[in-house]
Structures are given as C-alpha cells and as structure tokens.
Amino acid sequence: MDATIFGAWVATGLTLLIFSFLYKDNPLFKLAEHLYVGVSVGYTIVKAYDTVLVHLVVKPIVEQGEISLLIPVGIGMLMLTRYVPKAAWMSRYAFAFIVGMGAGLAIPRTISSFILKQVEDTIRPLLSIGGSDGVTFSMNLLNPASNLNAIIILLGVSSVLFYFFFSIEHTGAGKVVARTGIMFLMISFGAAFGYTVMARMSLLIGRLTDLIEYSDASYGRPTIWLLMGIVGALFLLSRKRQEHPPDSH
Amino acid sequence: MLKIDRRIIFLVIGLCTLLPLLYPVGLPIKISSEVRGVYDHIESLPEQSVFLLSIDFDPASKPELYPQAIALLRHAFRKNLRVITMTLWVSGTGMADQIVTQVAKEMSKEYGTDYAFLGWSPGGQAVIINMGQDLYSAFPSDYGGRPTKELAVLNGVRNLKDVGYMVDLGAGKPGVEEWYVFGKDKYKFELGGGCTGVMAPGLYPLLRSGQINGLIGGLRGAAEYEILIDQKGQAVAGMDAQSATHIAIIVLVIICNVFYLSLRRAARAQGQAG
C-alpha cells in the first residue's frame, strides 16, 4: 500500500475516533487519545536524542574534540542526581545555574519589551501639532495613531488600573470609574473569546477539509468506510453496555 | 431550549462547517492593515535578501498556521529571496521540513542555494540569543546533517543582524513574543508575526507599538495573505465555513439569551403572584 494512502487511512481513522467523543465518552476515543500522547512523546524523545545527544554532544566531542562541551554535559548530568536521594543535593547546582541564567536573561529584556515599550506607546499626545495650522485632532478610529484612539486608550488604561486599585472603596465617582474599567475588561475578554471561537472553528474546518479529501476514490474512500465502521462499533458498544451495565459499586 | 442536548448543537455546528466546504459561496475577504504589513515588507525587499521563517508550531495548530507558512514561502520564493527556515518546536520538525520541501519543489527552488531548513535546536529563547551572536553556533548543521557553513544560501549571514526580514509563525512559547524579546529588541532586525487566533489579541499591543510590523492572525489572516499573493488555497476555502459557523454561534447565543430572559421574567411574575 502506498504510504500516502496508508497515511490517509490512519489520519481519517484517528480523526473519527476523536470525534466520537462528541457522541459520548467511549473506548475508541480513549484509544486514539492514548495513541496521540504516546506518539507525541515518542517522537519528541527520538528527535531530542538524535539532535541533542548525537549531533550536539557526542559527535562534536568524539569527532571534533570539543572537550569544553563536557562542562554543560556535566551540569546537565547533575540533574539526574535527583533520582539518587543521597546525591540529590547536587542537582541544586544545576537548577541554580538554570534559574540564575534564565532570570538574568529574561528580566531586563521583558521589562524593556513589555513594560517600557508598552508604557511609551500608551503615553501619546491627545492633540497633534499640524504644521502651520497649529493644533489638530484626528477622529479616524481605524488609524491606531489617531487622537481619538489615544483618548480611548487613556480612558481604558486609567479606569482598568483604578478597578484593580483596592485601597479606596469603589463608591460614588469611584464606582463610575471602576465600572468603566469593567466595561473595558469585558470588551477585551469578548474580543479574546471571539478569536478563540474562530481558532477552534479553524481546527474543525481543517479536519473536515481532510475528511472530505479522503472521501475520494483515489484514497479508497477511508472517510466513508471508517465512518461506517466506527458508527457500527459505537452501536455494538452501546448494546453491550445495555446488556451488561457497569457495576455501580 | 435551555436544556437542549449538546449533541444537537454539535450537529448544527458540524453542518454549518461541512456544507460551505462542500458548496462554497465565495464570500468577499477584506485585507486588514496588519496582514498587509507583512506582505508589503516582503514586497519591498530586494532580490536575494535574507528571509528567515521560524515555523514554531506542531501539527495541533496545522489548520491555522500551515496555510500561513505555505503562503509566506510562496511569496518569498516568488520574490527570489534567500529563504532560511527553522523551528524551535521539536514536535513540529518533521512537519516544518515537509512544508518547506513541498513549496520549494512547487516553485522549483534548489536546496542550499535558494533555501535551507536548519531544523530544530534545543533551548528555545537561548537559541534566539545564540543566533543573534553566531548563527553557526546555534545550528552547526542543517536538518539533513550538512554543515551550515557550507550552504551557499547563508553566504554573508553571520547572525540575526544580517537577516533582511524575519517572520515567526508561532502557536505558543517560544513564539512571536520570544522572537521580539530575545531577538529583535536586542539584535535590531525587522520582525513580523503569524499566530493562531487564540494568540492574536495578545499580540495586538506589539503591533500597535510598532514592535512587530505586521501580524497574520489565524485562518482569517492566512486567507487574506492568499488573496494578496493571488494564490487561493486552504485558508480561502475555509472562510465560508468560518463565516457560517460564526453566524450559527451568534444565533444560538441570541436564542439562548431570549429563552433565559423570558424564563427569568416568568419566574419573577410567578414569585410576585405567589
């Protein structure tokens, strides 16, 4: 059998087995779920072994004599001492190295990228100087740099920050500002959820596109045959469960 | 209605997705400025500029990011750019190789001269920093085991500063944010992004502040890019289904709210009468 056709049958079968969960939880779904986890982990282990151990460690040391690589290898090996209780303390040096280096790399870059740059972009002039005409105000909501958008950002940032400022009771004028903050947050959550729905639908579209393609005669119509097979199997499982209900004790 | 079997909702959504895929309507697709940002920058690059594409996703995000990768590679190859591809996701290595090889074959490009796939290197953000200092230290050999120093496509490229444009197609971490924080912010090269729909709202602040110069968000973004390069593919084909499912979800939300409010009103009236 051609590898493409075999792949089509496997992909179709696994997709339909996973979709069978939409009817109800069943052993066929669990089989596909466990296969997915197993294959993913297996693939990752093989790739990591080949790329890291073979190509980045063993070959450079043995073939090119890069002895300095033994230092990171040694630090990495210290992590394995976690499995030997008496020597587990040695793994702390490896963790200390990773945490220290990671924090040192991440903290200044994150502050620069996500705090300073974002603050800089948030603080924008509410009015623009427009050549010889003096001060101008642009109303174009579609232009991110427009003055109207700058006012909306000012209102949003101030009210949301106030909403999370708990040292003052949110009453009177403070209540209005806090509720404005909630409105901005809700709009933001709504936009995020809308995008999430779009993403999930895209995944469904992707799988259905493949199922339609694999219903073609050139692949041996795996979609149709496997769909019939899985529906039949679900029916038999359902009958079996009715005849022998699972023990509740 | 509020106690409707959820399987009926699944069926409605399934039909709303399946029918437009079988019988496409061809709804118009408007190009957004964020997607145009990536397209325009690639268009502005002179021939033989270095274009780096990091394919940072695995098969779980394939429906959204695979069409983006295909469209970007077609555009870059058509512009005769020197295309360097890589991945920071070990689980996406095989798929990334398949994508690059497929488009290169379609565009009759030669490996080593026109493009290269460097494969995966462990370390995530450390790889980005390493590439910023010395690309050959981060990737001593390519995916096929050939020494990267021998690849003609990398002539004159020492580190990330020599890259004309870089686009990251990310489905999580490491992804677009890491490429900005540890790459562009430090080594000053032009960066664009592509991401799943879930991630897009989180990346808009980077776009607005100019930290990235364009963003392709989800299947919709991929469809826009396919329209821009005038090569319609999987993403455009899926947009009718996307619109139909969105309408179905909006209708379901409205119906459920109407029933919920009418039930609440009825319960209140009953309470007052009692």
Pairing of strands A128-129, A135-136: antiparallel
Q: Considering the entire predicted model, what is its pTM?
A: 0.89
- Per-residue model confidence (pLDDT) at position A2: 85
Is-cis flag, bond preceding B28, omega within 30?
no
Separation CA B124–CA B129 (nearest Å) = 9
Answer whether residue B268 is part of any domain.
no
Side-chain-side CA neighbours of residue A130 (13 Å)? 11
Residues A149 and A211 in one domain: yes
In a domain, B45, yes or no: yes
Residues from chain A that touch B249, judged by Cβ atoms under 8 A, are 197
- Is the Cβ–Cβ distance between B116 and B154 less than 8 Å? yes
pLDDT band at A249 (very low <50, low <70, confident <90, very high): low
Does A121 contact B196 at a Cβ distance shorter than 8 Å? no
Residue B5 located in a structural domain: no
Chain A residues with beta carbon closer than 8 angstroms to that of B126 = 105
Q: What is the mean pLDDT of residues B228-256?
A: 94
Q: What integer pLDDT is reported at residue B197 of this predicted model?
A: 93
Mean pLDDT check: name the lowest of A164-178, B204-218, B236-250: A164-178
**pLDDT tens for each residue of B53-99:** 999 999 999 999 999 999 999 999 999 999 999 999 999 999 999 99
Q: How many domains does chain B have?
A: 1
What secondary structure, in 3-state letters, does chain B show? CCCCCHHHHHHHHHHHHHHHHHCCCCCCCCCCHHHHHHHHHHHHCCCCCEEEEEEECCHHHHHHHHHHHHHHHHHHHHCCCEEEEEECCHHHHHHHHHHHHHHHHHCCCCECCCEEEEEECCCCHHHHHHHHHCHHHHCCECCCCCEHHHCHHHCCCCCHHHCCEEEEEECCCCCHHHHHHHHHHHHCCCEEEEECCCCHHHHHHHHHCCCCCCEEEHHHHHHHHHHHCCCCCHHHHHHHHHHHHHHHHHHHHHHHHHHHHHHHHHHHHHHHHC
Among A84, A101, A123, which residue terminates a domain? A123
> Is residue A27 in a domain?
no
A210 contacts A15 by C-beta, under 8 angstroms? yes
Structure tokens at A103: 């924090």
Kindly state the tokens that stand for A61. 């040391």
CATH code, domain carrying B85: 3.40.50.10160
Mark yes or no for CB contact B122/A56 under 8 Å.
yes
Residue A26 lies in a domain: no
Instruction: Tell me the CA distances in angstroms from A117 to A122, B205, B206, one per residue in order.
Output: 9, 10, 9
Q: What is the pLDDT of residue A14?
A: 96
Please identify, among A98, A123, A148, the residue that sits at the C-terminal boundary of a domain.
A123
* Residue of B245, B66, B193 lying closest to A206 (CA atoms): B66
- Residues facing residue B85 across a β-bridge: B53, B117
Q: How confident is the model at residue A247 (pLDDT cuts 50, 70, 90)?
A: low
Look at the block and give the residue holding tokens 């390493």.
B130
Q: Which of residues 220-239 of A touch B (CB under 8 A)?
A: none
Taking an 8 Å cut-off on Cβ atoms, the answer to whether B237 and A196 are in contact is no
Q: Cβ of A203 under 8 Å from any chain B Cβ?
A: yes
What pLDDT is stored for residue A248 in this prediction?
55
Selecting from B10, B18, B140 the residue whose C-beta is nearest the C-beta of A208 gives B18
Judge whether B114 lies within some domain: yes
Q: Is the pLDDT of residue A36 over 80?
A: yes
Contact B234, B2 (CB under 8 A): no
**Both A107 and A166 in a single domain?**
no
Q: Which domain holds residue B190?
A: 33-239
DSSP-derived 3-state class of residue A90:
helix
pLDDT band for position A173 (cuts 50, 70, 90): confident
**CA B199 distance to own-chain centroid:** 10
At B9, the pLDDT band (50, 70, 90 cuts) reads very high
CB contact under 8 A, A205 and B181: no
Confidence of residue A133 (pLDDT cuts 50, 70, 90): low
On average, the pLDDT of chain B sits at: 93
* Domain span at A49: 45-123
Query: Residue A128: helix, strand or coil by DSSP?
Result: strand
Question: Tens digit of pLDDT for each residue in B117-161?
Answer: 999 999 899 999 999 999 999 999 999 989 999 999 999 999 999
Q: Is A135 helix (H, G, I), strand (E, B) or coil?
A: strand
ipTM of the complex: 0.89
> Is the confidence at residue A174, as pLDDT, over 80?
yes
pLDDT surpasses 90 at B208: no
| Residues of chain A positioned with their CB less than 8 A from the CB of B191 | none
Please report residues of A whose CB lies closer than 8 A to that of B19. Answer: none
How many Cα atoms occupy the beta-carbon half-sphere of B106 within 13 Å? 15
Give a yes or no: residue A128 inside a domain.
no
Q: Is the pLDDT of residue A142 over 80?
A: no
